[in-house]
Chains A and B, each alone.
Chain A
Amino acid sequence: MNVTVNGKSYDISDGTSLLTMLYNLDIDPGRVAVEHNLEIVSKTNFDNTVLKENDTLEIITFVGGGL
């Protein structure tokens, strides 16, 4: 099935959890925040959030910036 992550399309297997998706993308879950279909997912729910066809994820982190 297809999901969109930060604007990019990914083909993943059915039943993939958000946590597995992060690991597959080589992302440390401790250092990011995630919006799942525009709703923020708390870190404690990364594991029990199961992705569905056409879901959209925004994964953010902190970068250098001032103003």
Chain B
Amino acid sequence: MNDILKVAGREIRSRLWVGTGKYKDFAETKTAIEASGAHVVTVAVRRINITDRSKEGLFDYIDPKKYIILPNTAGCYTAKDAIRTANLARAAGVSDMVKLEVIGDEKTLLPDNEALLEAAKILVKDGFIVLPYTNDDPIMAKKLQDAGCHAIMPLAAPIGSGLGIRNPYNIRIILESASVPVIVDAGVGTASDAAIAMELGCDAILMNTAIACAKDPIKMAYAMKMAVDAGRLAYLAGRIPKKLYASASSPLEGMIE
């Protein structure tokens, strides 16, 4: 089946994208990512530990040649910090993509859309492939798209909440008007949430906590892979309309008398 996802013209071999945080150790991170089948892996940008160099790094386990590395600006609360972080990430030399996050508030971790749009415009102009994490707000999605963002990443629910798709109707409106990929980012809790997002027509899903904090992250990674694939297939297959009354699936002719 020819169903290739492309972001900024680049072929992406999976519709499940994963984060690399909150795992027990790097070995578990690696195994879970392999089980998820993810081709895109998001990573955070932080100061290197200079006092203890004995520690292994993420890239000792996650080969940047094997995956598309998507640096994120998680933890940035201003456009300035997010731009600075994105530039450092690009200078590290593994990716010119950025999952742009400008967080508005520590408690909700919801985006600061005003600052997000400001940062997105600057980074697009500077040649980044910009994938902004935003509210499930169709107007904001439109503004980010018009600013030249290469995908839109609306949240399903707050980061790490596991609440699933809180507003499927907004996601549908975003999908209707989007000409760039729509990738649900944050809030998925379990496999059915992922399937619902894909059945709506989303192009991909990025998740971290739902896998990393499951009792068995490896099993959940595989469950999510299957859910994303199943949801995508169901979307392409086209579901039946919902009806109030029954409709028999066996023939009415030839009944015994």
**A residues within 8 Å of B by Cβ?**
5-8, 25-27, 30-35, 40-43, 58-67
Known A8-B51, A27-B48, A27-B50; contact A64-B88, beta-carbon cutoff 8 A = no
A25 to B, closest residue via Cβ: B50
Minimal beta-carbon separation of A38 from chain B (angstroms): 8
A-B contact count (CB 8 A): 122
- Using a Cβ–Cβ cut-off of 8 Å, how many residues does chain B contribute to the interface with A? 46
Name B's A-contacting residues (CB within 8 A): 18-23, 26, 29, 42-48, 50-51, 53, 57-59, 69, 71-72, 74, 84, 87-94, 101, 109, 133, 159-160, 185-186, 206-209, 212
Which residues of A are found within 8 Å of B19, using beta-carbon distances? 64-67
Q: Give the residues in chain A near B42, CB-CB below 8 Å.
A: 65-67
Which residue of the partner chain A has the closest CB to B48? A61
Shortest Cβ distance from residue A49 to the other chain B in the assembled complex, whole angstroms: 13
* Contact A62-B94, Cβ < 8 Å, known A31-B59, A67-B208: yes
Q: Which residues of A contact B92 (CB under 8 A)?
A: 31-33, 60-62
Residue in chain B with minimal CB distance to A64: B20
7 more contacts with CB within 8 A, not counting A64-B21, A67-B19, are A25-B50, A33-B88, A33-B93, A63-B45, A66-B21, A66-B44, A67-B160
